[in-house]
Structure 1
Amino acid sequence: MGEITLSAGVRQNLNTLQQTADLLSKTQNKLATGNKVTSALDNPSSYFTASGLNARADDLSGLQDDIGQSVQVLKAADQGITSITKLVQSAKAKASQAASTSSQYERKQYAAQYNDILTQIGDLAKDSGYNGKNLLAGSGNDLSIKFNEDGSSKLSVSAVDYTDVEGGLGLTAIAAGSSGTTSFTLQGATATITAEFSGLSANDLLSDSTAFAAGDVLSFTDGAATPSFSQTLTVTSTTTVQDLVDFVDNLDGVNATFNEDSDSLSIVSNDSFALANDGAGGGATGGLATATAAAFTSTSTLVSAGGFQSGDTLTFTDGNGYEVGSLEIDSTTTADDLVDKLNEIDGVSATLSSGKISISSAVDLNIKSDNSDFNVSSFSSADASVGVALDTEDSGFATDSNIDSVTNKVTSALSTLRSQASAFGSSLSTVEIRQDFNKNLITTLQEGAGKLTLADTNEEGANLLALQTRQSLASTSLSIASQADQQVLRLL
């Protein structure tokens, strides 16, 4: 194109059009991208400064996700501690309920419920994790939270182990308590002597009867051919019928009564017996009464044994001395009635078979009668009671001191939980504050970068309009300059 020569005016207008087109292109690019600096060529200082600010903002944005997940881990732990605290308070309530009763059975039930709560505490702690991290599960679950891009600012949260309730909270499952068994036999032997006392009253002398004489020796034995038990009464000139009644009645496990209406002596014994007269003083020699004990059936009346009389009261108490029931004996009270009363007691099971009452009890059980002949065997004295002792141990709430010890441990556990909840709460507050700070800092960095690189669309829009006007004017000017050169043609 070197052979083409343009006039100065045309060349000047052409240059102006080219410059205007270049400015238009740049302005349109700014409006299209929104940036006034898009590369280092535009403004090296602004470009690299903005790049650094945006890079830091991107790094912090990446940390925000990790911080957000850490917040959820702390929230899960906090919720876990809140729920565990409620369970520990429930455990303390069980101890208080146990303290409010003296019933050994009720205390045993509360002990079992207390242990169930401790199991739930451990299970709840195991379920308090978030995304594989559990601050209540101990070793390997410590949480480290970075707040800045180089990790120089961070927070470490140590995990605690509440899945191990004993190690983490000092709460130990208490003894649930064992059970125990015992048995005692119900049997009776009854005999009535009539002929020997015909015409006599209780205050009459035995010697008034032809069957007795002074010097006779009356013996009460267990009825065996070779007795292992024998008690004797020597008849004197002053021995009365009542003396004989008292002699027999005072033997352990034997009741004796004299009926003046029928002139008869009735003897009721727990075991087989024999009453005989040796006739040494001239009285009738031989047996006065012999009876063989028979095992009770369910319908046997208790008064058919020497250990019971109408008006007796059986009292049932547990190992704490707490009365769990009682039974008043009358002439119609049967062995079944006694078994039924035992079965009404919480934690006690009783059966009757072949005259033997077998008892299984979840608590220590003592059956005591106000009749000293109760449960006497072989005419040997007894303590008028039947006892069930637990096979091994009682529950952990058996005594008031046991309950106080557990209560103290629970109170300490609550203090531990509250302290740990405060620590987690403080960490959570710190993390949330830093999360908000980073969010605002990212905005600040991005705004700063924008101020260095973003275009003012209003200004660039005005520039575009001005450039378009300039371009139009330059085109017109070029056209005018070209017309001046065309005047030569007219001369030709």
Structure 2
Amino acid sequence: MQDITLSAAVRQNLLTLQSTADLMSGVQNKLATGLKVNSALDNPNSFFTASGLNSRANDLSTLLDDMGQSLQTIKAADKGIQTITDLVETAKAKANQALQTQSQYERKKFTEQYNDLLEQIEDVAKDSSYKGKNLLAGDGNDLTTIFNEDSTSKLTIEAVDYTDTALSTGLNLSALAEGQGSTTSFTLQGGKTTITLTDGTTTLNSASSLSESNVISTTTTLEFVDAIDSPNAIISGSDTVTAGATVQDLVDSLNSISGVRAEFDDTSGELTIYSDQDFHISDTVDTHSAALSTFEVAATALASTGALLSDTGSFAVGDTLTLTDGNGFELGSLEIEDDTTVDDLENFIDDFNGVEATFNASSGRLDITSDVDLSLTSDNSDFASDAFTANTTGVTLSALSDSGFATDSDISRVVDRLNTALSNLRSQASEFGTNLSTVEIRQDYTKTMINTLQEGAGLLTLADTNEEGANLLALQTRQQLASTSLSFASQADQTVLSLF
């Protein structure tokens, strides 16, 4: 190449074309990459400054993703609190419903529903997690959100524990006792005897068809003995019937004995005596052993569901039996009629929720099972009397344990706790809402900061495509002109050939 000699004009044009080509290559690279600074060789100061800005923008972009995940975690907890609040309000409604009724059975059912709601609250709290983080599950679930690249700006959200409603640091809502029922029983027994007084008179010592008429005289004193056999003791508190007494005196004396009832029919002259225990009338004051056999009543257990209740000393036609619970709430009543049977009594008790009656024909025992406290009473003081002692309280059953809604004061305490829990939930929801807003605000700020950093880096490194396009067009024109000039220079050298 050194042996080839170019004219000054050709050489100048070649240099111009080479320079133009280099410039065009640079402009084309800028247009292709969009950058006017592609490496440190282009502009060290701008390149390294832009790299620093872009690095920070990338770091913030990573934190921005973390902020987005933190937002979702907070939203999951917030949705959980909203649902738990609804469930607590429902539980409060159940407590208020229980307060509107005095029925212990209904209150027991409301207690069970209340406990079911507490279980749902715990389940919702456990289900309010996002990517393994649960702000409603207590220890180990605190959420920390970092806002800047050196971790000096951050927000820590402390988790609360609603997975156990009984925790004092949480909702402080303990499950209530649902109550446990119990069983009681009483024996349906009795007997009767009917004596016909045929003389039509009203005095006991007048002539009659009684086999004992010879011993019912003007000197006879009748006493009431509590057993046909030993011990033949005079019934405590009973009144003797002295000589010259009337039939009505005898009836009145018999009716004054608990568990004994006497009825006298003036028309037929029939005196009917009913008793819950073995019973007879004696005319011997000292030994009480000379029983008047006509005045004997042998009491036995009622042996069938079809047995009439009025055939005992405990029941009389017109009696009203009342079934009430421990709160005095009346479940219902049954009026005894002349055809009311054991089966009628059993069905009456069975009609009510939470109460079951079973009659044992072999023993005459009526077993009663109830979920709540129960009382079966009668307006007849002889009802369920025992050993000639009145039972003024009737047949009572005390449940092994009462429900948590058994009394008004119990319910009021629960309502107070529910109100406190609602207040705490609303406060916690407000706190989570504030944290959510904080993260959202920082998220928006970070987006703006990333845009600012990237824009600043772009100002240092991005090419102006309009300017570079114009430069390319100018260089193309220059290249064409240089090519034309080179052609002219070459033609000047070729004129020498014309000499040959």
Q: Normalising to structure 2: TM-score of the pair?
A: 0.93
Report the alpha carbon displacement of residue 132 of structure 1 after superposing the two structures with TM. Answer: 0.2
| C-alpha spacing 1:50/1:270, structure 2 compared with 1 (3 Å) | same
Distance 2:52 2:231 in 1: 115
Q: Please tell me whether residue 249 in structure 1 is matched to residue 255 in structure 2.
A: yes
| C-alpha spacing 1:207/1:227, structure 2 compared with 1 (3 Å) | farther
Which position in structure 2 is the counterpart of 1:96?
A: 96
Distance 1:13 1:302 in 2: 139
Q: Please tell me whether residue 58 in structure 1 is matched to residue 64 in structure 2.
A: no
The answer to whether the Cα contact below 8 Å between 2:375 and 2:394 also exists between their aligned partners in 1 is yes
Correspondence 1:435-450 to 2 at 5 A: 435-450=443-458
Distance 1:228 1:383 in 2: 26
Give the secondary-structure state (helix, strand or coil) at the position aligned to 2:222: strand
Report the alpha carbon displacement of residue 237 of structure 1 after superposing the two structures with TM. Answer: 4.8
Which position in structure 2 is the counterpart of 1:361?
A: 370
Q: Please tell me whether residue 262 in structure 1 is matched to residue 268 in structure 2.
A: yes
**Residue range with higher mean Cα deviation, 263-272 or 130-139:** 263-272
Q: Please tell me whether residue 383 in structure 1 is matched to residue 392 in structure 2.
A: yes
Give the secondary-structure state (helix, strand or coil) at the position aligned to 1:169: coil
Give the secondary-structure state (helix, strand or coil) at the position aligned to 2:144: strand
Which position in structure 1 is the counterpart of 2:219?
A: 215
Distance 1:320 1:216 in 2: 52
Give the secondary-structure state (helix, strand or coil) at the position aligned to 1:367: strand
Correspondence 1:100-111 to 2 at 5 A: 100-111=100-111
The answer to whether the Cα contact below 8 Å between 1:219 and 1:233 also exists between their aligned partners in 2 is yes
What is the identity, as a one-letter code, of the residue corresponding to 1:74? I
Distance 1:286 1:18 in 2: 155
Which position in structure 2 is the counterpart of 1:85?
A: 85
The answer to whether the Cα contact below 8 Å between 2:74 and 2:135 also exists between their aligned partners in 1 is yes
Report the alpha carbon displacement of residue 274 of structure 1 after superposing the two structures with TM. Answer: 2.1
Which position in structure 1 is the counterpart of 2:130?
A: 130
**2:425 alignment partner, one of 417, 420, 423:** 417
**1:224 alignment partner, one of 215, 221, 228:** 228
Report the alpha carbon displacement of residue 30 of structure 1 after superposing the two structures with TM. Answer: 1.1
Which position in structure 2 is the counterpart of 1:300?
A: 307
| C-alpha spacing 1:164/1:90, structure 2 compared with 1 (3 Å) | same
Report the alpha carbon displacement of residue 227 of structure 1 after superposing the two structures with TM. Answer: 2.9
Correspondence 1:332-411 to 2 at 5 A: 332-353=339-360, 354-383=363-392, 385-391=394-400, 393-411=401-419
**Residue range with higher mean Cα deviation, 160-169 or 478-487:** 478-487
| C-alpha spacing 1:314/1:122, structure 2 compared with 1 (3 Å) | same
Which position in structure 2 is the counterpart of 1:309?
A: 316
Q: CA RMSD in A?
A: 1.8
**2:174 alignment partner, one of 158, 172, 175:** 172
Q: Please tell me whether residue 4 in structure 1 is matched to residue 4 in structure 2.
A: yes
Distance 1:13 1:381 in 2: 141
What is the identity, as a one-letter code, of the residue corresponding to 1:378? A
What is the identity, as a one-letter code, of the residue corresponding to 2:155? L
The answer to whether the Cα contact below 8 Å between 1:279 and 1:285 also exists between their aligned partners in 2 is no
Distance 2:142 2:200 in 1: 99
Distance 2:277 2:433 in 1: 76
Which position in structure 1 is the counterpart of 2:492?
A: 484
Cα-to-partner distance string for 1:379-430 (whole Å, 9 max, x where unaligned): 1232250000112x21111111111111110000000000000000000111
Report the alpha carbon displacement of residue 37 of structure 1 after superposing the two structures with TM. Answer: 0.9
Report the alpha carbon displacement of residue 278 of structure 1 after superposing the two structures with TM. Answer: 4.0
The answer to whether the Cα contact below 8 Å between 2:221 and 2:243 also exists between their aligned partners in 1 is no
Report the alpha carbon displacement of residue 236 of structure 1 after superposing the two structures with TM. Answer: 4.3
Which position in structure 2 is the counterpart of 1:457?
A: 465
Distance 2:19 2:244 in 1: 160
Correspondence 1:188-199 to 2 at 5 A: 188-194=190-196, 197-199=197-199
The answer to whether the Cα contact below 8 Å between 2:111 and 2:405 also exists between their aligned partners in 1 is yes
The answer to whether the Cα contact below 8 Å between 1:24 and 1:464 also exists between their aligned partners in 2 is yes
The answer to whether the Cα contact below 8 Å between 1:229 and 1:379 also exists between their aligned partners in 2 is no
**Residue range with higher mean Cα deviation, 185-194 or 128-137:** 185-194
Structure 1 vs Structure 2: percent identity of aligned residues? Answer: 58
Distance 2:240 2:35 in 1: 135
The answer to whether the Cα contact below 8 Å between 1:215 and 1:235 also exists between their aligned partners in 2 is no
Give the secondary-structure state (helix, strand or coil) at the position aligned to 1:55: helix
Identify unmatched segments of 5+ residues in structure 2.
none
